[in-house]
A and B are shown apart, each in its own frame.
Chain A
């Protein structure tokens, strides 16, 4: 955010705070109330139908990832009968059967777990790397900033998919743990390693904007040390845009995972993965279009859910977007 945006934000907080302050003065000294930026953002989110669509879909896919049995309509994804190969959807088997004659609905449902694990794990790594590197670069500036920013620039020069593809290709031949496993952890790490730079830049620019504020000078004048100033005073005022970015990024990572898997370097059979299912179904797309259609729809919905939530969150945290 620019200084102007920050000023607007602060102004909006004042305006919003005046009314809430008058309407409901705090009476409970023990309550742990959220600050007004977040409570205002929540009020704005609650009114946004797109947020609710995203939130409901996210909850749905999350529950699906945790307890897929509930959604598989009693079918075992591994119980296959070749006699049913490529059978079209029916009332009993909503998504039909795949090439191996396995119930396709349960296969697609079981695929949610890997997608979400990879999405969330990759984003957690992106967040940790981005916040740590960005905060250090922004706060200390100078040579530190120069070195860290150039490292980020080098990673920027490598496209996400290409970088992850190369890493996953050579990964199994190395002895680095996780990376050499070809499991969800390897895919998530590969994607995070080539996707943390935008988060880092966001945090860095936020930290630079916030560190020159008067309350940081005040905190220093009161004898607070560097760590305390950075963690307690700067970061809480700098995280909002990063949060928005990472929410959207979960969706992007899930799509990237499907792409890598489709290209054959991500998850490997017999793992359940939408990318694998699309890849397996593509050769039969004329006879059995449902094999590509259903995993694609579910994949699109999942990605969309996170992007919708991220968009809604961005609008809620940016007062200029508010009506």
Chain B
């Protein structure tokens, strides 16, 4: 899948050094019933202070790619190939012990469901403090003191009193803050947030996203935001990569992609969101279902659902949607899309 290896898209708000380079990442799950290809050759990079949103439906491979970066997939059945370079070093080539050293201080992760991601038998202070005990060999007392500081930093009220409370004694938003406190404990260079606000209500969502942005400003960390929430992406992200069936189908700055999609799938996503201007009109959902990752359609994986597909005689030579796999290519300045007819999609929604 070398055609997917293209230069990383220029980014909008970043000036920092490159922290993470993902190159031609593949993740397969070998099962008795066959091979499930969850991630099929994605490449992207992340710079200091950059927020990259990875957008996609359930089953598009966005969470699996993050788990592959964190090294928390069970291998086997998962098979990870490609390169994941953190500050220039390929994590897939590292020893397990070296990888473990990167997790925490280098790359850290926030999970979607904070309640199930916190151990029910330990107090939150113990769990936050564990980071210091594991990576810095801090004493219990020292770890606890730092845990209280962190809880203050993520704005948990009365942190000193609540440090000994258990996860179930916190509200959903506070639990997510505890998760964030754990994730940022060692000032990671990269924070991966896997649907950090999906389990929260809207007001709390906004607070959590604000908190993440503030923390990013303080520390200059790179933030990878995995979500299917277009509103969140629009508000906080610099760049966006849209994933479909384990591939990146479009990449660019949030402003560009959101104002004028370059791939029919992105276009479909945008049309399925209520718009103030389109008040009273019907929403246009994307027809059909995301593909079964064990049997990804030939050619462009999106073609069975695509309104703009060209099959047979309609198609230009070498650009038949059900036969030829469209490479991720530069379609406009700073824009990449994996569609044979991207130029026809671009400009449709331009205001």
Q: Is the CB of A214 within 8 A of B113?
A: yes
Residues in chain B near residue A218, CB distance under 8 A: 109, 111, 117-118, 179, 182
- How many A-B residue pairs lie within 8 Å, measured between CB atoms? 105
From A13, A223, A232, give the contact of B120 (CB < 8 A): A13
- B100 CB–A CB distance under 8 Å: yes
A18 to B160, CA, bound (A): 20
Residues in chain A near residue B105, CB distance under 8 A: 223
A221 to B109, CA, bound (A): 7
Q: Is the CB of B164 within 8 A of A29?
A: yes
Which segment of A32-40, A180-188, A258-266, A301-309 sits at the interface?
A32-40
- A159 CB–B CB distance under 8 Å: no
- B225 CB–A CB distance under 8 Å: no
**Contacting residues of chain A (1-47) with chain B, CB-CB under 8 angstroms:** 10, 13-14, 17-18, 20-21, 25-29, 31, 33, 35-37
Q: Is the CB of B116 within 8 A of A29?
A: no
Residues in chain A near residue B164, CB distance under 8 A: 26, 28-29, 31, 33
Q: Is the CB of B166 within 8 A of A17?
A: yes
> In whole Å, how far is A107's beta carbon from the nearest beta carbon of chain B?
46
Q: Is the CB of A221 within 8 A of B134?
A: no
A183 to B134, CA, bound (A): 45
- A74 CB–B CB distance under 8 Å: no
Q: Which of B70, B101, B160: most chain A Cβ within 10 A?
A: B70
- A213 CB–B CB distance under 8 Å: yes
> In whole Å, how far is A271's beta carbon from the nearest beta carbon of chain B?
42
Q: Which of A27, A35, A213, A221: most chain B Cβ within 10 A?
A: A221
A222 to B106, CA, bound (A): 10
Q: Is the CB of B120 within 8 A of A37?
A: yes
A128 to B35, CA, bound (A): 40
A236 to B119, CA, bound (A): 10
Q: Is the CB of A222 within 8 A of B108?
A: yes
Q: Is the CB of A220 within 8 A of B72?
A: yes
Nearest chain-A residue to B179 (Cβ)? A218
- B165 CB–A CB distance under 8 Å: yes
A20 to B166, CA, bound (A): 11
Residues in chain A near residue B115, CB distance under 8 A: 10, 14
Q: Is the CB of A224 within 8 A of B130?
A: yes
- A296 CB–B CB distance under 8 Å: no
Size of the chain B interface, CB-CB below 8 angstroms: 41
Known: A21-B169, A26-B165. A217 touches B120 (CB 8 A): no
A33 to B104, CA, bound (A): 28
Q: Is the CB of B130 within 8 A of A222?
A: yes
Q: Which of A18, A37, A217, A223: most chain B Cβ within 10 A?
A: A223
Known: A218-B111, A223-B135. A36 touches B168 (CB 8 A): yes
**Contacting residues of chain B (73-131) with chain A, CB-CB under 8 angstroms:** 100-105, 108-109, 111, 113, 115-123, 130-131
- B146 CB–A CB distance under 8 Å: no
- B47 CB–A CB distance under 8 Å: no
Q: Which of B101, B105, B119, B131: most chain A Cβ within 10 A?
A: B119
**Contacting residues of chain A (204-237) with chain B, CB-CB under 8 angstroms:** 213-215, 217-225, 228, 232-233, 236-237
Nearest chain-A residue to B128 (Cβ)? A222
Residues in chain B near residue A13, CB distance under 8 A: 120, 168
- B32 CB–A CB distance under 8 Å: no
Nearest chain-B residue to A228 (Cβ)? B134
> In whole Å, how far is A239's beta carbon from the nearest beta carbon of chain B?
10
Q: Is the CB of A214 within 8 A of B166?
A: no
Q: Is the CB of B163 within 8 A of A221?
A: no
A222 to B191, CA, bound (A): 11
Q: Is the CB of A217 within 8 A of B111?
A: yes
From A14, A213, A232, A237, give the contact of B168 (CB < 8 A): A14
Q: Which of A20, A218, A225: most chain B Cβ within 10 A?
A: A218
Q: Which of B120, B135, B169, B179: most chain A Cβ within 10 A?
A: B120
A133 to B293, CA, bound (A): 37
Residues in chain A near residue B161, CB distance under 8 A: 25-27, 29
- B162 CB–A CB distance under 8 Å: yes
A21 to B213, CA, bound (A): 31
Residues in chain B near residue A236, CB distance under 8 A: 119, 121-122
Q: Which of A27, A222, A236: most chain B Cβ within 10 A?
A: A222
Nearest chain-B residue to A237 (Cβ)? B121
Residues in chain A near residue B160, CB distance under 8 A: 29
Q: Is the CB of A222 within 8 A of B104?
A: yes
Q: Is the CB of A215 within 8 A of B118?
A: yes
A28 to B164, CA, bound (A): 8
> In whole Å, how far is A214's beta carbon from the nearest beta carbon of chain B?
4
**Contacting residues of chain B (214-267) with chain A, CB-CB under 8 angstroms:** none
Q: Which of B121, B123, B131, B179: most chain A Cβ within 10 A?
A: B121
> In whole Å, how far is A33's beta carbon from the nearest beta carbon of chain B?
6
Residues in chain A near residue B144, CB distance under 8 A: 29
> In whole Å, how far is B193's beta carbon from the nearest beta carbon of chain A?
12
Q: Is the CB of A237 within 8 A of B135?
A: no
Residues in chain B near residue A33, CB distance under 8 A: 123, 164
> In whole Å, how far is B143's beta carbon from the nearest beta carbon of chain A?
13
> In whole Å, how far is B111's beta carbon from the nearest beta carbon of chain A?
6
A123 to B326, CA, bound (A): 65
Residues in chain B near residue A232, CB distance under 8 A: 130
A221 to B193, CA, bound (A): 12
Residues in chain B near residue A219, CB distance under 8 A: 119, 130
Residues in chain A near residue B182, CB distance under 8 A: 218, 222
Residues in chain A near residue B102, CB distance under 8 A: 223
CB-CB nearest 8 A-B residue pairs:
A223-B104, A223-B103, A17-B168, A21-B169, A214-B116, A214-B117, A218-B117, A215-B119
Q: Can you sample 16 A-B contacts with CB below 8 Å? A: A10-B120, A10-B168, A17-B168, A21-B165, A26-B165, A29-B163, A33-B123, A35-B121, A37-B121, A215-B116, A218-B109, A218-B182, A222-B130, A223-B100, A228-B134, A237-B120
